[in-house]
Structure 1
Amino acid sequence: MRGRHGDAFSTYKRAALRDYVNSTRHGDASVRLVNGAIKETGSPPWRRSFPHVIVASLSSFLFGYHLSVVNETLESISVALSFHGNTMAEGLVVSTCLAGAFVGSVLSGLIADGVGRRRSFQLCTLPMIIGALMSAMTNDLWGMLIGRLFVGTGMGLGPPVAALYVSEISPTSVRGTFGSLLQIATCLGLMTSLFIGIPAKDTVDWWRVCFAVSVIPAAALAILMEFCAESPHWLLKRGRAAEAEFVFEKLLGGVYVKSAIAELTKGAKGEETDTVHLTELISGRHFRMIFLGSVLFALQQLSGINAIFYFSSSVFKSAGAPSDIANICVGLVNLSGSIGAMILMDKLGRKALLLGSFSGMAVAMGTQAAAASSFASGWLSMYLSVGGMLMVVLAFSLGAGPVPGLLLSEIFPGRIRAKAMAFCMSVHWVFNFSIGLLFLQLLEQLGPQLVYACFAGFCLLAVGFVKKNVVETKGKSLQEIEIALLPPA
């Protein structure tokens, strides 16, 4: 019978909107679906869970900060550590943290399921603090690379745990909005690193300050998370039902506790304590969802967005534009798009934002390729290059940036959610590392026109993939999605 389970997504489309039993009682906060799940008829107050989401978003702030901290400072670092002009060494400084992020991502599922979401956040701050201080104090390239490796380990652990945590503590009606806050926090981290890095060109060793100040938000995350609620999904998975009820009351309000526990228990189906093996993720009834997540993250990176974030200073400089002003514009556009995504996420839905985002990026990358062609020169080339880059960032921040992490945390069943996110994020970091390491060399050997044309082609490929495979999860609880999407065992 397993062969009939291959098209989980068509199952989802047929069963996503199930009829309600006409027995809703007056004054109840929930109704029972025909499949036995519980659906809330009202919306729990978002203010209860909002502070916990804000604290969790500090991990995304740190992610964005360390992702871009070498953007303005790379030239100063290369001079101070004696590898100026060595593009391979420069690429390693950028991409070594991404190799560490791969390691952190691989371990994130085991850690998140083993010690809980709160302790995972606290653990991710430890290598970030150690690595940032090592990078700030080093006097050679190897010290910088080891420091970046440590930082990357924390970067890899943070994002999947943040996506899990926010999806599991957020009311259904604002889950997309709260998920978008993680992208906004990433944008703020990117902007902060750009602003702090501006004096690096004129002030000796200022780049050391840029690394050292990141210790402050990392320490704040570790301390504040001590006062945040644990994920009730994780507590119930560990058999701590009484604590899960208490947390639900804290996050949603007392009137929603019974319906939330009943729905979560129904979705679990008694499987939560089973061990999840790698073979279970890459075969059988879970394969289609894992494949979707992995390809979506791979296409996100192959769109070329992180080449923009890592090397925008170099690109703007080659186009004749002041890099500091241009990078500030990149940060503001990124933030504006992320705010737009937050507003639209629970209105237009995840799939619509992904389609519009990748389509816009394809056009913008085509503009970049046109700017590098022989038909554009002088001021026209500069305006097309800068304008195309800003268009890429805006389109990315509206969908391709915030949606994949949120979408995958929604579609994966609770039993495999942490480990499935870890697997897909590992794919993300492999492609992220490759782009960071090879972009400058590809730019030199192939030329910008061909490189940007390839990025545009991957964006178009992503449009087709999303249209065919991605399902809409807007307005549905995690348990509704699991019951509708996952074929029977």
Structure 2
Amino acid sequence: MRGRSAVMGETTVRYKRLPSREPMDRPDQEVGLPVSAFSQMDVDMDQEPPNPSWKLSLPHVCVAIIAAFLFGYHLAVVNAPLEYIAFDLGFSGNPLAEGLLVSMCLVGAFFGCSISGWIADGLGRRRAFQASAVPMILGALFSAMSTNSHAMFLGRLIVGFGMGIAGPVTSLYITEISPAHVRGTYGSLIQIATCLGILGALFIGIPANSIPGWWRACFWISSIPAALLALGMELCAESPQWLVKQSKWAEAEYEYERLWGGANVKFAMAEISRLDKGDEIEHITFMDLLSKRYWKVVSTGAGLFALQQLSGINSVFYFSSTIFKSAGIHPDLANVCVGVANLTASIIATFLMDKLGRKSLLLLSFFGMGVAMAAQTAGASLSGSSFARVVLSVGGTLLFVFMFAIGAGPVPGLLLPEIFNSRIRAKAMAFCMCVHWVVNCFVGLMFLELLKQLGAQVLYTFFGFMCMAAVVFISRNVMETKGKSLEEIEIALLSGQ
């Protein structure tokens, strides 16, 4: 028997006990333990069990971050061969069409993101990954075989839809399967995988300069990691948090044993049962996220993503080639410099995430970005190509990218699934990511016009102000989650700590 049954005077959780290598279709062995016994386990034990081995959960995380790699790859895949795609498909010299080639992916991502929470809650995290892989494969193949601009735009839209589903689910899944002591490190791997995807796309696109039609191969190649993601998820564990929401306690225990080891199963189940008191599954709607009960934490998440984009990160990425070119540095070298700064800081963040903590890294990151924007503002105010202007502009750009990647880039995607309770986690992540995409598109559409109307100095001043506003916002609204289990975080938020 699975699920939960109410007994007079006591709620009993009934689940079947399965060894880690035992098939799931064996006859039931039911074990009924009172919720009170589960909840008391951490009190009865002299000390908590040792930290689970990271080696058990790492393979599952490595499969999941393939989605982040694809995210970075598809964002950058059209950068190198853009002019060749435009020439072959007949829209060369049309800036609107070239802009659509990039932005259609973002439009698709918004729509995919808007339903990702419902897919993740309805099908489970593993099936959501597989669902996201299908449009990424089909869209890539569609783009590779396109013979006109309309087919290419459709292919990019389909790919973006898959990216939008995968984005929130990746953060969600890694947060839910990771032991508390390495959850920050694992969360940073998402940013590293995204950076590697961007660099991989730029590297694979190099032959487009000498091999006619090579851009088609760039899209063909992307279907391989998408297929690996779909197949790999067949071997990965399902999120125990999701299984408990479905009242599948036996499977949740089995997956915890796969992910954390047998010594930690009872403690993990006790942690979950501290919050799950046998209530019926609550169906969350979009309007529920805006209710008084959830609004504070949801608005904190949405605010973090909005401030992340309003800091000016995309404008720095888009405008970095021009800045480096004015300093006499080739645009290709500029892309490499920015990519190396991004990747280096992302690697450093993996070591700091579980040492300094999420809140500390966010504060350090946004403050450093504000300083970098001040340097760029000072550089923009100088005339000519003086040494000081070059140092301030180029140095400010690299410092901004570095400070972004060390905190403001990777932390929100990790922090939000931690602070959202299990009832709203998937849908709240989808909502906040939609805010991310809306603000992203708004900044992208308005940047060049604002740059023309206001000038770089005023625009950089605004971005610097938003970075400092983020420091104040984080100081007042974000709690530290380092080293805490998801259940401990939820209890702390419920108690108003």
Question: The TM-score by the shorter chain falls in which range?
Answer: 0.7 to 0.9
* Contact map agreement 2:39 2:271 (CA 8 A) in 1: no
Inter-partner Cα distance in structure 2 for 1:318 and 1:192: 26
Q: 1:461 to 1:376 in 2, by over 3 A?
A: farther
Give the Cα separation in 1 of the matches to 2:99 and 2:377.
22
Quote the Cα distance in structure 2 between the aligned partners of 1:443 and 1:310: 12
CA distance, structure 2, for counterparts of residue 468 and residue 38 of structure 1 = 36
Range with greater deviation from structure 2 (335-344 or 459-468): 459-468
**Residue 415 (structure 2) aligned to one of 393, 407, 412:** 407
SS state of the match for residue 142, structure 1?
Answer: helix
- What pairs up with 1:405-444 in 2 under 5 angstroms? 405-444=413-452
Pair 1:114 & 2:122 matched = yes
Match of 1:49 in 2: 57
For residue 348 of structure 1, what is the aligned residue in structure 2?
Answer: 356
The answer for the alignment partner of 2:302 in structure 1 is: 294
Preserved CA contact (<8 Å) 1:45 1:252: yes
445 and 199 in structure 1: CA distance in 2 versus 1, 3 angstrom threshold: farther
- CA change 1:435–1:209 in 2 (3 A) is farther
Residue 162 of structure 1 deviates from its aligned partner by 0.8
Residues 1:361 and 2:378 aligned together: no
What is the alpha-carbon distance in structure 1 between the residues aligned to residue 461 and residue 304 of structure 2? Answer: 20
1:23 paired residue number: none
Aligned position for 1:133: 141
Q: TM-score, normalised by structure 1?
A: 0.88
Unaligned runs of 5+ in 2: 1-37
Structure 1 residues 469-488: aligned runs within 5 Å: 469-486=477-494
Query: Quick one: structure 1 residues 376 and 311, their matched pair in 2 at CA, closer, same or farther if it must change by over 3 Å?
Result: closer
The within-5 A match list for 1:70-469 is 70-271=78-279, 273-310=281-318, 312-313=320-321, 315-317=323-325, 319-377=327-385, 380-469=388-477
Structure 1 residues not aligned, in runs of 5+: 1-28
CA separation of 1:130/1:448 partners in 2, compared to 1, >3 Å: closer, same or farther? farther
Q: Tell me: CA distance 1:260–1:205, structure 2 relative to 1, closer, same or farther (3 Å).
A: same
Distance 1:228 1:33, change over 3 A: closer
By how many angstroms is 1:57 displaced? 0.5
Query: C-alpha separation between the residues in 2 aligned to 1:39 and 1:422?
Result: 37
TM-aligned CA distance change 1:30 to 1:196, over 3 Å: farther
CA contact under 8 A between 1:271 and 1:415: conserved in structure 2?
no
Does the 8 Å contact 1:53/1:178 carry over to 2?
A: yes
Check whether the contact 1:38–1:259 (CA below 8 A) recurs between aligned residues: no
Greater Rg over alpha carbons, structure? 2
In the alignment, the residues of structure 2 paired with residue 447 and residue 348 of structure 1 have an alpha-carbon distance, to the nearest angstrom, of 37
Change (3 A) 1:408 1:271: farther
Residues 297 and 424, structure 1, Cα contact 8 Å, conserved in 2: yes
How many positions carry a matched residue from both structures? Answer: 459
TM-score (norm. length: structure 2): 0.86
SS class of match (1:372): helix
What secondary structure sits across from 2:80 in the alignment? helix
* Alignment-derived partner of residue 60 in structure 1: 68
Taking only aligned residues, the RMSD between alpha carbons, in angstroms, comes to: 2.4
CA contact (8 A) 1:71 1:313 kept: no
Aligned residue type for 1:159:
G
Where does residue 4 of structure 1 map in the other structure?
none
1:255 is displaced (CA, Å) by 1.4
Q: Over residues 190-220 of structure 1, what are the superposed CA-to-partner deviations in whole Å (9 max), with x where a residue is unaligned?
A: 1111222233344433332222211111111
Cα 1:242–1:55 shift into 2, 3 Å: same
Q: Which deviations, in whole Å up to 9, do the C-alpha atoms of 1:327-359 show, x marking residues without a partner?
A: 112211111101111100010000110011111
* Cα distance in 1 between the residues matched to 2:289 and 2:45: 25
Q: Aligned partners of 2:42, 2:266: CA distance in 1, in Å?
A: 15
- Whole-angstrom CA distance in 1 between matches of 2:102 and 2:326: 19
Is the CA contact (8 Å cut-off) linking 1:358 and 1:459 kept in structure 2?
yes
CA contact (8 A) 1:333 1:393 kept: yes
Shift in Å at residue 261 of structure 1? 0.9
User: Percent identity, aligned pairs only?
Assistant: 58
State which drifts further: 390-399 or 66-75. 66-75
Q: 2:315 touches 2:444 (CA, 8 Å); kept in 1?
A: yes
Q: Alignment partner of 2:234: what SS?
A: helix
> Which residue type is aligned with residue 110 of structure 2?
F
| Amino acid of the structure 2 residue aligned with 1:211 | F
- In terms of mean alpha carbon deviation, does 284-293 or 380-389 score higher? 380-389
Taking structure 1 as reference, are residues 210 and 307 closer, same or farther at Cα in structure 2, changes over 3 Å only? farther
State the alpha-carbon separation in 1 of the partners of residues 374 and 172 from structure 2: 35
The DSSP-based 3-state class of the residue aligned with 1:48 is: helix
1:25-44 aligned at under 5 Å gives the runs: 40-44=48-52
Q: Is the 8 A contact 2:106 2:160 kept in 1?
A: yes
Q: Which amino acid aligns with 1:331?
A: G
